[in-house]
Structure 1
Amino acid sequence: MSQAETGLTGRQRQREQTRAQILEAAANAFAGAGFDAASLADIAAQAGVKKALVQYHFSTKEQLWRAAALQIWQQRNDALAMQLGDAAGGELASRMREGFTALVEFTCEQPHWLWFMFHEAAAQGERQKWLIEHCMQEDYRLGELFVIEFQRQGLIRAGSPLHLLHLISGALTYNLLVAPSTLVATGTDLASPEAIREQVRLLQELLAP
């Protein structure tokens, strides 16, 4: 329990716990159905609370969607920072491998972050603009810096950092999206630890100059 949480009263802790349950349910609902199809009633049911309680914490569906987006991206960033922090000071190839692995492992645990993004990434509208401004713009900036740094160190081939970033991101996440179908069709579990290690190894070899 964090210091902030230890200073809360029982009622405040319950309020925060309820809010967290609602956000988790909202993230899953928006990822699965998209903003328009996801209803506050469905989200309340998934969270195990009444719809009125959802509206108490979040006055509009738009506000709930934004809060869910920020939470998903924060969870992902925290997971990446933790794993990359553990790899700090190691050899460069190992640090790159840890960065790739961290993204794959988080996506395995929280696949809804990709679906949440996909629902808005191809759409034209205010939610897409908001998501880019508050979440994705920084992803692009940091992702390109990641590629440029490893290009300078001789671990990633020359080429457009933005194009390489998208190729890397696709290679690390697409396999997980089709993993259930691949398992049924071929008997190979692309989401297993062994498969993830092999995919990361092959990606590093493909990226090498």
Structure 2
Amino acid sequence: MTSKTIGAKSPAKQQEESAPTGRTRQRRPQEVRERVITAALHAFATVGFEGASTRSIAADAQVSHSLLIYHFQTKDDLWKAVVVNLAERFAISRVDEVVASGGASARDRLKRAIRKIVTMSAQYPELHRLMTIEAHQPSKRLTWMCENLIGEQFEFMRDLISEAQREGAVRRADPERLRFSIIGMAAVPFSVSAEYQYLTKRNPFSKIEIEQTIDLINALIFVD
């Protein structure tokens, strides 16, 4: 992965430039990072890594370019921070709701996992958009994601599906293909929300649509 340092100013200068016009209040570092990560996620999910500009991201985040560089020295660093932030949100959901579920059956744990994947996809539709851009061809960024983040989630879902199949709860099909099918059904209505709403006249982000998406996946994956 190529990485070119953009150049940086002193921390004192960063704080000076980060203050809004006409105000003396300085933004806290965590606030700056969150604003930049949010803006960067939108950029990377919309125009991809190559099309995204750190200057436009800084403008969208309402921080100075030099302050963005102080927190993320390269665009590669910023991209990784965005992906890690998303992965941590999904991992927290998985651990809290699925893994730490005691003696629950694989069927019940998989149903909870599906619900979380759908609700998180609705909350962060940019994730699937970003993944679609990155995953359509080999790249160092894709390799990094698979080795550091996606691989563990992929194995977790595959093994959980296999366990549920052994219980007789899930249709007999390749667990890896089923994992991709679940991700696609869970994410596509939200990642192509404009098309979905235009054709169906329904808002995919509405509570009833989210529940119906979950119900559809369950009906196709599980054995009655």
Same fold (TM over 0.5): yes
How far 1:31 sits from its partner (Å)?
A: 1.1
Amino acid at match of 1:200: I
Secondary structure, aligned partner of 1:138: helix
TM-score, normalization: structure 2?
0.79
How far 1:74 sits from its partner (Å)?
A: 0.7
Q: Does 1:177 align with 2:191?
A: yes
Find the counterpart in structure 2 of residue 64 from structure 1. 78
Moved more, 85-94 or 25-34: 85-94
Question: What is the rounded CA distance, in whole Å, between the counterparts of 2:215 and 2:127 in structure 1?
Answer: 24
Work out which of the two has the higher radius of gyration on C-alpha atoms and give 1 or 2: 2
Alignment gaps of 5+ in structure 1: 1-10
Question: What is the rounded CA distance, in whole Å, between the counterparts of 1:205 and 1:70 in structure 2?
Answer: 32
Secondary structure, aligned partner of 2:28: helix
1:73–1:113 CA contact under 8 A, matched in 2: no
How far 1:47 sits from its partner (Å)?
A: 1.1
Equivalent position to 2:50, from 28, 31, 36:
36
Summarize the alignment of residues 10-89 of structure 1 with structure 2, pairs less than 5 Å apart.
14-84=28-98
Question: What is the rounded CA distance, in whole Å, between the counterparts of 1:133 and 1:94 in structure 2?
Answer: 28
Alpha-carbon spacing, 1:113–1:200, altered in 2? closer, same or farther (3 Å): same
How far 1:169 sits from its partner (Å)?
A: 1.4
Alignment gaps of 5+ in structure 2: 1-24
2:110–2:161 CA contact under 8 A, matched in 1: no
Moved more, 188-197 or 116-125: 188-197
Alpha-carbon spacing, 1:157–1:37, altered in 2? closer, same or farther (3 Å): same
Q: Deviations over 1:91-136 (max 9, x none)?
A: 6544333221111111111111111211111122211211211122
Question: What is the rounded CA distance, in whole Å, between the counterparts of 2:91 and 2:27 in structure 1?
Answer: 24
Alpha-carbon spacing, 1:140–1:54, altered in 2? closer, same or farther (3 Å): same
Paired residues, number: 199
Amino acid at match of 1:167: S
Alpha-carbon spacing, 1:12–1:165, altered in 2? closer, same or farther (3 Å): farther
CA root-mean-square deviation: 2.4
TM-score, normalization: structure 1?
0.84
Question: What is the rounded CA distance, in whole Å, between the counterparts of 1:52 and 1:158 in structure 2?
Answer: 55
Question: What is the rounded CA distance, in whole Å, between the counterparts of 2:95 and 2:154 in structure 1?
Answer: 16
Bigger helix share: 1
